Amino acid sequence: MRDPDLASVDARLAARLAELRDERGWSLDELATRTGISRSTLSRLERAEISPTAALLGRLCTAYERTMSRLLAEVESGGEPAQLVRAADQRVWSDTASGFERRSVSPPHPGLRAEIVEGVLRAGADIAYEGPPVAGLEHHVWLREGALEVTVQGRAHRLAPGDCLRYRLWGTSRFHCPGPDAARYAVVVVLP
């Protein structure tokens, strides 16, 4: 049986994706051309028939020039983000197909440039992003547990617990957990 809270988030995400496309006056065909996602998949996403994977959501965020955190915050919260966010209130989004879980530690605010996200990748998980949602996005990736390989614009970096990788993102990136355990990491995302 499906979690009703997850179904509700999926429905709100679907509605927000349709709104963003409508705000730009794009047809499904035009969005498909911009993202490389098939028209039928986009249609099913907007009707909440399927949940987006992390990679699909990344492509849509790029088209809409939003970080994933901003898009998810628009879906999850109805108002102004609080200054203090208790651990129990931090929103979690999961892509079970790819083995990725994402926690919004500090929800984004339109007036601020940085946010903290926690990621967990199961052993063997591999997520590739075609580009940043905003060119020049700065990331600080701090590995807390496990092993993580981060490839930025073709250059691979293997992180061990405690290591921190900083980069500005202009092109492709990839997160891979070689195992044997899950990788738990924090990402500080800074808008240019």
Q: Where are the domains of the chain?
A: 4-74, 82-190
Residues found in the chain: 192
pLDDT in tens, 37-58: 999 999 999 999 988 888 888 8
Rama region for 106: left / alpha / beta (φ>0; ψ in -120 to 50; rest): beta
Q: Judge if 4-74 and 82-190 fold alike in CATH terms.
A: no
Greater pLDDT, 59 or 112: 59
pLDDT in tens, 65-115: 888 877 877 776 555 556 788 888 888 888 888 899 999 898 666 667 888
pLDDT band at 7 (very low <50, low <70, confident <90, very high): low
pLDDT in tens, 120-148: 999 999 999 988 888 899 999 999 999 99
Q: How far apart are CA 179 and CA 164, in angstroms?
A: 18
Q: How far apart are CA 10 and CA 13, in angstroms?
A: 5
pLDDT band at 5 (very low <50, low <70, confident <90, very high): low
For residue 87, give the DSSP letter. Answer: G
Q: Nearest CA to 141 among 156, 123, 125?
A: 156
Q: Does domain 4-74 have CATH number 1.10.260.40?
A: yes
Surface-to-core class of residue 91, CB atoms within 10 Å of its CB (0-12 exposed, 13-18 middle, 19+ buried): middle
pLDDT in tens, 167-179: 999 999 999 999 9
CATH topology of domain 82-190: Jelly Rolls (2.60.120)
Give the mean pLDDT of the chain: 87
pLDDT at 35: 92
User: In Å, how far are 46, 92, 101, 134 from 5, measured between CA atoms?
Assistant: 18, 11, 16, 29
Q: What is the pTM of this model?
A: 0.70
Q: At what angle do helices 4-24 and 54-64 cross, to 10 degrees?
A: 30
Place of tokens 């440039």: 113
pLDDT at 110: 65
The arithmetic mean of pLDDT across residues 15-40, rounded, is 92
Greater pLDDT, 76 or 63: 63
Q: How far apart are CA 64 and CA 143, in angstroms?
A: 29
Helix (H) or strand (E) segment spanning residue 19: helix 4-24
